[in-house]
Amino acid sequence: MNLKQAGSGAEVDERLAALLTNSGAVRAITAAVEGTIGPKGLDTMLVDRFGEVIITNDGVTILDKMDVNHPAAKMLINIAKAQQAEVGDGTTTATIMAGGLVAEGVNQVLRGVPVARVIEGIKHGIAVALAAVKERGRQIGSADDPVLENIAVIAGREHRDIADLVVAAARLIGLEKLNEPNFKLADIVTAEEGAENEVFLGVIVDKERMNKDMPATVENARLLLVDDALEPEEIEDGALGTEAGFKRYIELQEEFKANVRKIVALGVQVVLVDRGVHASAEEIFTDAGIMIVQRVAAKDMRRAAEHCGARVIKRTGLKKDPADIEKYLGTADKVYEDEKLEQVRILGGRGKPMATILVGAATEEVVGERERIAKDAASSLQAAVKGGCVPGGGAVEIAVAREVEKAREGIKGMAAYGVDCVANALRRPLAQIVENAGFNPLEKVEEVVAAQAAAGKDSLAVDCDSGEVADMLARGVVDPVPVKVHAIKAAGEVAVAILRIDTIIKKKEEGANAAKQSGAGETGMPDF
């Protein structure tokens, strides 16, 4: 950006250089995702230097995969990632509002409003907006509430087949499970090329049985989960050269085989192992007709343990008495290998009910995108169960913007201009949604503002097919309260953080980094 040209050709104070530079970086990031929002949003193609392509309209995926170096841009991306980690959806909305807040804040500063007063007003406006969203929330009282289907369809980018899977899974496990703090419905989603869409009570272990001589199906199975390598204890190579060391090696081998036979004697039929399995253990288990699955991912191991009522055991724990080991075992109605999909399924566990959402994909190229879509739908549905829902389609942001404008009347001094920033930023999501649908955003936003005020309805927005003002609740267009709350909060936090930056200084490299950077070229930041 040419700082001499900023502010309509006016000479810009050197002190604003950092603010304008950061604002430009934020604008570039916002532009990368704003075209994806809404039912008419388009996709973005991401290409790396090896020619690998990702086509998506998932905001956090676009931001995460972008090649970004600017510090302010990275701040915005980190906020989007935090939004994704917290509620699993709403990253594009958060990014658009954050970009809007920064842009509005910079405009006010260029008009002569002190940055401190702008920040003060933004903080006040954000507080009013958060309270207004929470007040409008409608709670979900049942897993059969039809609003859950609507939320899943919208968050799932209108892929109704995926939405149906997510809703079916939610009903299988129930609201109590969905409200657990540490449970994430998105974690039970998996996508496979060539699979059929499916929801079932059970878990998938994304591995095959160790060899084809082991049983492919086990009914009424007893399971042992080993969070370790199923191998004899190691002995130092140098010790093997001594008689005592070699004797100890033989003892460890025999002790290990005795522990493996102990597992067989306990009637265990399926063994899941975190790491590798020794050849002697494989032979004993194969002869005994036991299915063994090795190198099981920690996530799959944890879910299998919870579903089967098992406790994971370490390799040293196999030295325990059989009665003690038995306390670690889990049970399931059926364990079988799906040879087509190269995975093992555990069904009807006697522990906690656990559902799996299996999303089918026709080709390898679309597997990742369909999985992202399903995870977004699952996250939004769970967020709505936990925090309720509000009208979607940009309607609630317009209603909240009207509340913020009312609150401005009680603000004295120049902080009122900061409140204006919040009100204008809240209009951005609807403006972008209608622009992506091919309509004039200024015209349509004002139509919605006037319609909401005249009808006294906070659920009015724009039908993206006809361009007419419509009731979003009547159309089934709803969004989870937590998604909106976190998006507004995140946008406010990053905007304040960026507006507070007065100077950019190149940091001195220290330690190993200093050696790496010696002789490197200019970074674009000023040297001091």
- Tokens standing for residue 242: 């001594």
In percent, the amount of the chain with pLDDT more than 90 equals 53
Give the per-residue pLDDT at 511: 61
58 is known as an active-site residue = yes
Give the per-residue pLDDT at 233: 80
- Residue 174: CATH number of its domain: 3.30.260.10
pLDDT tens-digit map of 368-401: 889 989 999 999 999 999 999 999 999 999 999 9
Together in a domain, 19 and 130: yes
Together in a domain, 324 and 371: no
Is the confidence at residue 28, as pLDDT, over 70?
Answer: yes
- Between 309 and 522, residue with greater pLDDT: 309
Give which of 273, 272, 337, 338 is closest to 308, Cα–Cα: 272
**What does each C-alpha distance from 353 to 20, 69, 166, 497 come to in angstroms?**
54, 45, 16, 44
Task: Point out the catalytic residue in the list 89, 145, 376, 458.
Answer: 376
Is the confidence at residue 446, as pLDDT, over 90?
Answer: yes
Together in a domain, 401 and 382: no
Q: Taking the CA of residue 192 as centre, how many other CA atoms within 13 Å lie in the half-sphere pointing to its CB?
A: 19
Give which of 210, 248, 256, 211 is closest to 231, Cα–Cα: 256
Is the confidence at residue 7, as pLDDT, over 70?
Answer: no
189 located within any domain: yes
pLDDT tens-digit map of 241-264: 676 777 877 888 899 999 999 999
468 located within any domain: yes
**What does each C-alpha distance from 129 to 125, 270, 404 come to in angstroms?**
6, 54, 6
Together in a domain, 24 and 134: yes
Give which of 62, 3, 108 is closest to 418, Cα–Cα: 108
- Residue 310: CATH number of its domain: 3.50.7.10
Q: Provide mean pLDDT across the span 20-43.
A: 86
Together in a domain, 183 and 161: yes
Together in a domain, 104 and 190: no
Q: Kindly indicate the confidence band of residue 11, based on its pLDDT and cuts at 50, 70 and 90.
A: very low
Q: Provide mean pLDDT across the span 416-437.
A: 94
Task: Point out the catalytic residue in the list 91, 93, 95, 286.
Answer: 91
Together in a domain, 173 and 119: no
423 located within any domain: yes
In percent, the amount of the chain with pLDDT more than 70 equals 91
Give which of 229, 236, 280 is closest to 258, Cα–Cα: 280
Give the per-residue pLDDT at 87: 78
Together in a domain, 334 and 439: no
Is the confidence at residue 403, as pLDDT, over 70?
Answer: yes
Q: How would DSSP label each residue in 44-97?
A: EEEE-TT--EEEE--HHHHHHHS----HHHHHHHHHHHHHHHHHS--HHHHHHH
231 located within any domain: yes
Please provide residue 185's backbone torsions phi and psi, each rounded to the nearest 5 degrees.
-60, -30
The model carries a pTM of 0.76
164 is known as an active-site residue = no
Q: Provide mean pLDDT across the span 455-474.
A: 94
- Between 40 and 52, residue with greater pLDDT: 40
pLDDT tens-digit map of 193-211: 888 899 988 999 999 999 9
Task: Point out the catalytic residue in the list 21, 36, 56, 92.
Answer: 92
Give the per-residue pLDDT at 347: 93
Q: Provide mean pLDDT across the span 135-150.
A: 91
Together in a domain, 322 and 214: yes
pLDDT tens-digit map of 100-140: 999 999 999 989 999 999 999 999 999 999 999 999 999 99
Together in a domain, 125 and 163: no
Burial 243-274 (b: 16+ CB within 10 A, else e): eeeeeebeeeeeebbebbebbbebebbbbbbb
92 is known as an active-site residue = yes
Mean residue pLDDT across the chain: 87
**What does each C-alpha distance from 64 to 33, 410, 449 come to in angstroms?**
11, 40, 34
Give the per-residue pLDDT at 3: 38
3-state secondary structure of 335: strand
95 is known as an active-site residue = no
Q: Please tell me the total count of domains within the chain.
A: 3
Which residues are CB-neighbours of 105 under 8 A, at least 6 positions away?
A: 115, 118, 119, 122, 418, 421, 495, 499
Point out the domain boundary residue: 329, 354, 387: 387
Task: Look up the domain containing 62 and give its range.
Answer: 14-138+390-499
Is the confidence at residue 221, as pLDDT, over 60?
Answer: yes
- Residue 476: CATH number of its domain: 1.10.560.10
Point out the domain boundary residue: 273, 305, 338: 338
Give the per-residue pLDDT at 163: 94
516 located within any domain: no
Residue 153's H or E segment, with its range, is helix 147-155
Give the per-residue pLDDT at 117: 94
- Tokens standing for residue 281: 């253990």
70 located within any domain: yes
- Between 81 and 236, residue with greater pLDDT: 81
Least confident of 156-160, 177-181, 306-310, 523-527: 523-527
355 located within any domain: no
Together in a domain, 437 and 369: no
Together in a domain, 303 and 415: no
Q: Kindly indicate the confidence band of residue 1, based on its pLDDT and cuts at 50, 70 and 90.
A: very low
Which residues are CB-neighbours of 229 under 8 A, at least 6 positions away?
A: 273, 274, 275, 276, 277, 315
Least confident of 59-73, 115-129, 484-498: 59-73
377 located within any domain: yes
